[in-house]
Amino acid sequence: MKKSLVLIIIGVIIFLCLIIISIVILFVPNSPINKWIIKAGITDENFPENNPNQNKNPAGESDSNPSTGGGSVGGGTSSGGGSGNSNNCISRKIPFSIGELVILEECLDYEGNNCVEKNVECSINIKNQDDEISGTFKGEISFFEKGHPTNLIDTFLFEEYLGPGEETSVIATTYISDDEIANLEIECIYQTTETPEEEICS
């Protein structure tokens, strides 16, 4: 009986000691017991399942499923209009000449001394002065009352394709049946709206 009582007391003492040691480990990090545990190497680092932040890949090995990023790596070429680009190229109009304006008026009907119906013809000459480049020349010839360029009567659009050194005449005509306008003296003006260009690279 005494022997059993002694064993029970010893068991209770051991149980209490374990509880005290557990409390010290949990709440007293600088205790001698904790220091002894650290010195003995008994830490969470030896048990990866207790350390979720530990890298599971061995040192020097890459993840078998690397993540993909949203950035882009690219080159390519860029092109732009205007006078230059990334290749140090510029565009310039090829040389040409335009002129030799000739105006012909033909009255088709008179009432007394007044012309009430007539045709007007205006012609110009265009020459491509470049020795190598062909291209299209666009422009317009406008008819108006002499001395009053704002009193526009008619406009003729032209488009001519010329090879190197080639030239041509452009003839614009208008028919006037309004007796007040037909009796006026008519003039013409011309201008180009588009001419060929060449690209020069340095």
49-104: per-residue pLDDT in tens?
A: 444 444 444 444 434 333 333 332 222 222 233 455 557 899 999 999 999 999 99
Contact 21, 37 (CB under 8 A): no
Chain segment 170-185, per-residue pLDDT in tens: 999 999 999 899 999 9
Residue that the structure tokens 């020795």 belong to: 131
Averaged pLDDT for residues 107-134: 95
Question: Predicted confidence band at 9 (pLDDT cuts at 50, 70, 90)?
Answer: confident
- Residue type at 138? K
Flag whether the pTM goes above 0.85: no
Coil, helix or strand for 126? strand
Bridge-based pairing state of the strands 167-176 and 114-128: antiparallel
Residue 159 scores a pLDDT above 90: yes
